[in-house]
Structure 1
Amino acid sequence: MDLHRHLRSPALSILVLATCFSASQARHHKEMANNTEFVSVNYVVLDEQPDLGPWSDWSLPSSCSRSCGGGVAFQSRNCRHGSACQGPAKRYFSCNTMHCPPGSKDFRSEQCSKFDTQDFGGNLYEWIPYTKGANDCELNCMPRGKRFNGFTTKMVDGTRCNDETFDVCVEGRCMPVGCDFFLGSSLREDKCRDCGGDNSGCITVTEIISFETDLSDAEPGYNDLLLIPAGATNIFIRELKDANNYLAIRNGNNSFYLNGNFNINYPEDFHFAGTVFHYERQPNSFLLGSAVIRALGPTNESLYIALLYHEDRKGEGIEYEYSFSKEEQSDDSDHYFWVTHNFSECSSPCGGGSQNRTLGCAKKSDNSAVSLRLCNPVKRPATTQRCNEETCDPEWFVSLWSQFRRVYCLQKISNRMTVIEDDVCVKKHGEKPIATHQPCNEER
């Protein structure tokens, strides 16, 4: 819903103010306006001192800083004449949170492009954002194809602080935005990027690939390390120490997106597989370096992480992590397949037991065994199953004698011994054994 458009109505403005801005803390509200659900609205303040007046009433909302993609509007108030007030004079809230139309220009790029018509040293340039500055909310613009900054100014409110979060700039400060796209919201994504989720529907895979144990047979050239399935989120891959090797990424059709065909890419952001991959490589010398690859996802195709291998660096390795939904449906472009072995014998003849089996992974082209990391985890077969679920016969349990002994009827149900009514054992085995006493020490 276009919040700014609806706030132009005085009557609706009163409704929004009465329901959304009644306290100093960010709050969630839902109201109905013209039979359309009014989405939750929060606000934030930059001055967090205790609120001491007397203040005037809050003004009507300002115009929205953006027409789409999540802008910022504010309300202001004044300290009444002759008084000393404490607390915020402005409060800020999100507006126009709907997605921009497909093909819309990036908002940061749009701000830099306004300098395209300005003379700079006697020349005109096409200005693009430089995003490696110290302040995320400072707009730094550089000419395309050049390596110097030309314009620096404050970011327009509502500009994303970075590509990794929903946070936006407000008056030159990066302010928290929830995954519901509202300033001050406490809602966050879980590892599967489910807004407000608790990771209960996620599977997270994390491991360290060791050169010494896992890559002992690596050959010079490209070596597949692992498969990241379609739908993967929060992808993180890191070389643990500097080496003369390079991480590479390809898809199931053997098309490389990063460092393919023995051509090494410069560190930058790459758009592929439906998300943005941030590739960083910190060089330690002319050849040695260590790389970090990050992507929020979700990916829209399966990807293979490979290593362009040049040298053995014993005692070092590659760390990785990613998550995917338990209900994720993967594509069928895999070059490797799961190998299942026979289940073991059932652990119990009745009452519910279990069987186990081991898994392998093989290459489709020649059926050779490879690491389990290369098989699609979304398609991983089960390694355990239930067996012999039929109920066991009841039986008497009889303890050893002391002055008395314990006797009760037991039956194995769902792989657990359960005490049941004595009548069941009586029907199956006859009279209940004596439990109270027996003759003892009768010698004279």
Structure 2
Amino acid sequence: MGGWGLSQPLVLKQRTNGAAKSHPLSSGLWLWTEFGENHNIIRADLGGLMDLETLYRGVEQSINHTRASRSRRHSMDRAYNIEVLLGVDDSVVQFHGKDHVQKYLLTLMNIVNEIYHDRSLGAKINVVLVRIIMLGYGKSMSLIELGNPSQSLENVCRWAFLQQKQDTGDAEYHDHAIFLTRQEFGPTGMQGYAPVTGMCHPVRSCTLNHEDGFSSAFVVAHETGHVLGMEHDGQGNRCGDEVHLGSIMAPLVQAAFHRFHWSRCSMQELGRYIHSYDCLRDDPFDHNWPSLPQLPGLHYSMNEQCRFDFGVGYALCTALQKAGQSGPQYRTFDPCKQLWCSHPDNPFFCKTKKGPPIDGTMCGNGKHCFKGHCIWLTPDIIKQDGNWGSWTEFGQCSRTCGGGVQFRTRDCDNPRPANGGRPCVGATDQFQMCNSEECDDIYSDPREEQCRASDPRHDLHSNIHQWLPYVHPDPNKRCHLYCQSKGTREVTSMYRMVLDGTRCSYKDPHSVCVKGECEKMGCDGMIGSSKQEDKCGVCGGDSSSCKTFKDTIIRTTKKQGFLKVLEVPQGARHLLIQELKAAPHSLAVKNEASGLFFLNGEGDIPETRSLIEKGVEWEYENDNGKETLQSTGPLTHGVLIMVKLQGDEDVHLSYKYMMNMDSNSALQNNMLVEDSAYEWAPKKWSYCSKLCGGGKKYQRYGCRRIADSKMVHKSFCNKSNRKPIGDVRDCNPKPCPPPIWVTGEWQNCSKPCGKTGLQVRSVSCIQPSEDNTTRSIHNKHCNDNRPESRQACNRHPCPTQWRVGPWTQCSVTCGNGTQQRQALCHPRDNTIGLCLDSKPDIIRICRMDPCPKGTSDLNKNGNMLIQFSSRHNLYPKISSRQRCHGDRSVFCRIETLGRYCALPDFRRLCCKTCANETGTNVSTPVATPSFYISIPYHQSFYISNPFNNSSYTLSYQQSLYVSVPYCDSS
């Protein structure tokens, strides 16, 4: 398995800033799934998992994972962190003991983390344990519904959703929930259940796992792989050839500690989805979990691992040991190859999961298991995790002005990873902004400079071009250098990234490109900051200094040529010019400083396009003669809006733009001219301050340009003379009528049926006046008899119906068996309902061809049933006081098998069915040689002459199933 890391057993977080689908599963069962799939697996050698029907609908809701207080990483080679909530039910806590369960869970999750560190995955993923919750008996029983995996998974996912921290910046905020139980939530052998591609979803990012020893780590890794988007190897992909090599995502998982890998399909499927899981990009927090030894087996003996794998009483198989001078010794079999276990009641009947003990397990005097071998541990074979060295100084800035970036680096050499040790986690480089002061040339545009410097013959035909800057519409390609030919308007890639520090987009003046990725920055120049400009460019402002200029322009055409219709000043933002009706004329734009046209000049064809001029992006649309021109701005220079006249139709335009009317900004925008050109002039009287009861109105003054008598911003008049004091008049002296409540119409009901339907309406306190006008006032002014604004509606049961899944394949290949299907009462819209019809049958008898002579009807999947003779009782009676948690096998529901309730082991397997058995004599043993139950996936062997050392022999069964006898112990 490799090493384990002394100081950090887990990667811990450190804070730095649809449509229905059916598909076949390995047992031959077909599923019908809505809005996402669930996956379960069969683990061939780790205590198998069988597929069962799943009908799980995740709670369809979304939350915004913009964790403002937690920084995103800035390089594609950084690790993804899956922050895990680990839920553990009472069955796991009681089995391992309250004093020991935490250390066991940390070791198990450390193994899962190591599995995701395997290089075959093709991505750096850390499994980060942020929280452990251990449930009591009552809550555990309410979450796990025996024999119903889909409902159990839904319960667990909903429980995990309720445990979520509200603050995304909380150290215990989780991305994914892993739930462990030793209860049988599904048929015998089912070990895991999970939604597919549910990662980061508030409800569907969860897995349900059966815990039965450290090999359960492969089940947890497999199920989490489904949530990340991985499918079973060989099912819908071409990776079936990797299953027998120990691939993690095999339908029958055969991975073991000394032999596991992620298939090429798993790597490809993960790569398809991983970039969409935004919640995994957070930098980690630090959690003070107890440290673990470098090798996990140093804390766990083979006897303890046998107990974890097979239950209480199991220990290392005594048949593999013999007495020696210095204590028990092993026979010729190396105990580190495979862990074989037996129970004291039958010490020569041994089991294995076909995997070795975990690394570090003691296997002899001074020796330990390591990668399946019993060896002396030496420093040269123990892994060494890497650790970061010191940061270098920041290097040269990428630009001399206008904002660039500079980097510093560090190496993973303190120490370097060795012998399979994990590499350093985190970035090898960091960057910061530099030289942010503006350039002397206010029109400088780095992207334009890079295009201008490109080869003028850069095209397929070696034509000469003047290249203009172009931003690709795909956000993922905005840091690739694309340029547009001024002559042909063709767009081409220059096959390189833009220089570091270049703006990602002209519409976002702060985010910059760094090593080919767009890095989000705030208007304060801080990396990862969420601070934004208001509508008129004030960083962190509230738009209070913004002023909108808008009007309609109508001009009568008298001659052909260009007609100037509007001057837009430097600094204008959110400019929008629209032609009110289609006309043969065309809009044109001229740079006021240079006097040159840059849109629709002489000889240009007025066709829809976007262009960039002096660092400002413009979008021009011509829709069958009806034109629209817009720019986010801010304009680096004033522009003249022109109309190229054609024909004799009038010009009808509307315009709108915003300005920051702060006086300093006005100066910067060259809006102030000679003082004598402006004067204070009276404007309209204000509205009365009250509708009734006596109010005031005021004479207002504004700044007027003398040349054309147009009102302009007050800053133009501030230096010429003092603003006059306006007159004040009384108004609306009549007393006010009493305020009244006014209600609106009831809106449509929120639900068509169920128990939660509501409809709402508006309720306002209105003050009427003598002139029949009204205004809304505070509710406190109206009386206390406020009309209802909410009422219940459509509170009646929703129509429901039974929905059934398909029948499974017959449980036997010959003779008589059973088929199953699932039936669910399905209300509409997930509301409350009750199916009135009787529930459809969910189990039925199936009859296959007669079995060959010497085999049994109970034989499943063609497995050979083997009977071992015994002179004494191998299976003691089951106490009648033993607690019954329900039937543990689907065979219990076969009525013809009720006669086997006389057998103690059948009665233990089917305690609920046998307890309900009435009218049947179950005290008489059945007249049949023996009864068999298949134990999946365990190998076993029997010592033929256990007390005769001179004729010691071993025989063992190689098939995936081996059956043992159930004999009447009375």
Spell out the pairing of 1:88-107 with structure 2 (5 A cutoff).
Answer: 88-99=426-437, 102=440, 106-107=445-446
Give the Cα–Cα distance (whole angstroms) in 2 for the partners of residues 195 and 171 of structure 1.
27
What residue identity is the alignment partner of 1:45? Answer: H
Match of 2:661 among 315, 319, 325: 325
Q: Which residue of 1 aligns with 2:500?
A: 157
Q: Which moved more, 1:174-183 or 1:91-100?
A: 91-100
Q: Is residue 2:391 matched to residue 1:49?
A: no
The secondary structure found in structure 2 opposite 1:197 is coil
Q: Report Cα offsets for 1:362-412 as digits up to 9, x if no partner.
A: 9947x7xxxxxx6434569889935489xxxxxxxxxxxxxxxxxxxxxxx
Give the Cα–Cα distance (whole angstroms) in 2 for the partners of residues 86 and 158 of structure 1.
27
CA contact 2:591–2:598 (8 Å) conserved in 1: no
- CA 1:192–1:143 in structure 2 vs 1: closer, same or farther (change >3 Å)? closer
Give the Cα–Cα distance (whole angstroms) in 2 for the partners of residues 304 and 145 of structure 1.
23
CA RMSD of aligned residues (A): 5.4
CA contact 1:341–1:358 (8 Å) conserved in 2: yes
Q: Which residue of 2 aligns with 1:24?
A: 16
CA contact 2:590–2:599 (8 Å) conserved in 1: no
Spell out the pairing of 1:347-426 with structure 2 (5 A cutoff).
Answer: 353-356=696-699, 364=707, 375-378=711-714, 385=726, 387=728
Give the Cα–Cα distance (whole angstroms) in 1 for the partners of residues 582 and 458 of structure 2.
45
Give the Cα–Cα distance (whole angstroms) in 1 for the partners of residues 523 and 685 of structure 2.
46
Give the Cα–Cα distance (whole angstroms) in 2 for the partners of residues 262 and 109 of structure 1.
23
CA contact 1:280–1:292 (8 Å) conserved in 2: yes
Q: Which has the higher strand share?
A: 1
What residue identity is the alignment partner of 1:178? Answer: G
CA contact 2:703–2:712 (8 Å) conserved in 1: no
Match of 1:63 among 373, 391, 395: 395
The secondary structure found in structure 2 opposite 1:167 is strand
The Cα of 1:261 is off from its aligned counterpart by 8.9
Give the Cα–Cα distance (whole angstroms) in 1 for the partners of residues 524 and 502 of structure 2.
16
Q: Is residue 2:192 matched to residue 1:192?
A: no
Q: Report Cα offsets for 1:73-125 as digits up to 9, x if no partner.
A: 14345384444468533453224324475469754355456654999779696
The secondary structure found in structure 2 opposite 1:161 is strand
Give the Cα–Cα distance (whole angstroms) in 2 for the partners of residues 113 and 375 of structure 1.
43
Q: Is residue 2:619 matched to residue 1:280?
A: yes
- CA 1:188–1:289 in structure 2 vs 1: closer, same or farther (change >3 Å)? same
- CA 1:48–1:294 in structure 2 vs 1: closer, same or farther (change >3 Å)? farther
The Cα of 1:140 is off from its aligned counterpart by 2.8
What residue identity is the alignment partner of 2:479? Answer: C
CA contact 2:500–2:514 (8 Å) conserved in 1: yes
What residue identity is the alignment partner of 2:74? Answer: V
Q: Which residue of 1 aligns with 2:837?
A: none
What residue identity is the alignment partner of 1:385? Answer: G
Q: Report Cα offsets for 1:288-324 as digits up to 9, x if no partner.
A: 14232315236666x664555668799x963522122
| Higher RCO (C-alpha 8 Å, min separation 6) | 1
Match of 1:292 among 629, 633, 658: 629
The secondary structure found in structure 2 opposite 1:108 is helix
What residue identity is the alignment partner of 2:628? Answer: A
Q: Which residue of 2 aligns with 1:237?
A: 576
What residue identity is the alignment partner of 2:432? Answer: S
- CA 1:59–1:154 in structure 2 vs 1: closer, same or farther (change >3 Å)? same
- CA 1:115–1:132 in structure 2 vs 1: closer, same or farther (change >3 Å)? closer
Q: Report Cα offsets for 1:194-213 as digits up to 9, x if no partner.
A: 3343333x122054x5xxxx
Q: Is residue 2:138 matched to residue 1:138?
A: no
Q: Is residue 2:492 matched to residue 1:173?
A: no
- CA 1:269–1:311 in structure 2 vs 1: closer, same or farther (change >3 Å)? farther
TM-score normalised by L of structure 2? 0.28
CA contact 1:64–1:95 (8 Å) conserved in 2: no
What residue identity is the alignment partner of 1:131? Answer: Y
- CA 1:344–1:161 in structure 2 vs 1: closer, same or farther (change >3 Å)? closer
- CA 1:120–1:62 in structure 2 vs 1: closer, same or farther (change >3 Å)? farther
The Cα of 1:281 is off from its aligned counterpart by 2.2
The Cα of 1:138 is off from its aligned counterpart by 0.8
CA contact 1:130–1:142 (8 Å) conserved in 2: yes
Give the Cα–Cα distance (whole angstroms) in 2 for the partners of residues 66 and 194 of structure 1.
27
The secondary structure found in structure 2 opposite 1:166 is strand
Give the Cα–Cα distance (whole angstroms) in 2 for the partners of residues 250 and 154 of structure 1.
31
Give the Cα–Cα distance (whole angstroms) in 2 for the partners of residues 224 and 122 of structure 1.
40
CA contact 1:204–1:324 (8 Å) conserved in 2: yes
Match of 2:586 among 246, 250, 271: 246
- CA 1:45–1:270 in structure 2 vs 1: closer, same or farther (change >3 Å)? closer
Q: Which residue of 2 aligns with 1:13?
A: none
Give the Cα–Cα distance (whole angstroms) in 2 for the partners of residues 305 and 113 of structure 1.
27
- CA 1:338–1:199 in structure 2 vs 1: closer, same or farther (change >3 Å)? same
CA contact 1:177–1:184 (8 Å) conserved in 2: yes
Give the Cα–Cα distance (whole angstroms) in 2 for the partners of residues 226 and 143 of structure 1.
29
Give the Cα–Cα distance (whole angstroms) in 2 for the partners of residues 140 and 270 of structure 1.
15
What residue identity is the alignment partner of 2:586? Answer: Y
Q: Report Cα offsets for 1:243-275 as digits up to 9, x if no partner.
A: 33434557999x68566998768663344xxxx
TM-score normalised by L of structure 1? 0.53
CA contact 1:62–1:73 (8 Å) conserved in 2: yes
Give the Cα–Cα distance (whole angstroms) in 2 for the partners of residues 261 and 122 of structure 1.
27
- CA 1:269–1:24 in structure 2 vs 1: closer, same or farther (change >3 Å)? same
Gaps of at least 5 residues in structure 1 are 1-21, 26-41, 368-373, 390-444
CA contact 1:93–1:182 (8 Å) conserved in 2: no
Q: How many residues align?
A: 326
CA contact 1:269–1:278 (8 Å) conserved in 2: yes
- CA 1:155–1:220 in structure 2 vs 1: closer, same or farther (change >3 Å)? same
The Cα of 1:45 is off from its aligned counterpart by 2.6
Identity %: 17
The secondary structure found in structure 1 opposite 2:510 is coil
Give the Cα–Cα distance (whole angstroms) in 1 for the partners of residues 644 and 705 of structure 2.
21
- CA 1:58–1:188 in structure 2 vs 1: closer, same or farther (change >3 Å)? farther
Q: Is residue 2:556 matched to residue 1:219?
A: yes
The secondary structure found in structure 1 opposite 2:447 is helix
The Cα of 1:168 is off from its aligned counterpart by 1.4
The secondary structure found in structure 1 opposite 2:555 is coil
Give the Cα–Cα distance (whole angstroms) in 2 for the partners of residues 23 and 45 of structure 1.
15
Q: Which residue of 2 aligns with 1:17?
A: none
CA contact 2:682–2:701 (8 Å) conserved in 1: yes
Pick the structure with greater CA Rg: 2
- CA 1:343–1:141 in structure 2 vs 1: closer, same or farther (change >3 Å)? closer
CA contact 2:590–2:596 (8 Å) conserved in 1: yes
CA contact 1:77–1:89 (8 Å) conserved in 2: no
Give the Cα–Cα distance (whole angstroms) in 1 for the partners of residues 525 and 687 of structure 2.
52
Spell out the pairing of 1:100-139 with structure 2 (5 A cutoff).
Answer: 102=440, 106-109=445-448, 111-112=450-451, 116=455, 128=467, 130-133=469-472, 134=474, 135-139=477-481
